[in-house]
Amino acid sequence: MKKRIVILISGRGSNMAAIAASAKSGILSDCCIVTAVVSNRSEAPGLELAGKSGIPAVVVESSGISGIEFDRKLTKAVEIFSPDYIILAGFMKVLGPVFISRFTGKIINIHPADTKLHRGLGGYEWAFKKRLGTTKVTVHFVDEGLDTGEILGQREVDLRG
């Protein structure tokens, strides 16, 4: 049985599009299906990409409400799709304890840095500021800390062009 994936985005949705395409007819097609894309920003271009791919797109706006209220609304919106996994693909909002405790062991983040060296926003900016020739992209489980969850995999990225 294919694993049900919900992808959370905040912007363009380039990682979401790659995951969705791979789940539809690529390397992930035997193991998973993207059942929904959820964004915290109604103007996120990735929502249109999801719609064009036939994936339900849902908005849970994060601006103008408290973190706990957003957490509860996001939890309800995602629960509808009964996900086996939730992938944060360019999701630029820190998840709160309500969401994390509800989906413990199911949330996976794509982080643009080596989480052993840099956590939080601005992974590429940090690497350029440090004048690094390479950095890493880290895929890890989400826990209550900021980019502190168990690392599932890392891949080196050349920053020199």
The model's pLDDT over 6-29, given as tens digits with 9 standing for 90+, comes to: 999 999 999 999 999 999 998 999
Two tokens, residue 58: 């849902």
Within 13 A of 30's CA, how many CA atoms are on the CB side?
1
pLDDT of the residue at 85 = 98
- Among 87, 85, 151, CA closest to 119: 151
User: Can you tell me which residue has the tokens 């849970």?
Assistant: 60
| Domains located in the chain, CATH noted | 1-109 (3.40.50.170), 112-161 (no CATH)
DSSP conformation letters of 96-143 = -HHHHHHTTTTEEEEESS-TTT--SS-HHHHHHHTT-SEEEEEEEE--
The model's pLDDT over 98-120, given as tens digits with 9 standing for 90+, comes to: 999 999 999 999 988 878 877 67
Sign of the four-CA dihedral 119, 122, 124, 128 = negative
- Among 2, 31, 44, CA closest to 17: 44
Helix (H, G, I), strand (E, B) or coil at 38: strand
Give yes or no: 118 in active site: no
pLDDT of the residue at 66 = 96
Does pLDDT of 128 surpass 70?
no
Of 41, 93, 111, 140, which residue is the catalytic one?
111
Share of the chain above pLDDT 70, in %: 94
Within 13 A of 23's CA, how many CA atoms are on the CB side?
23
Rg (CA), the chain: 16
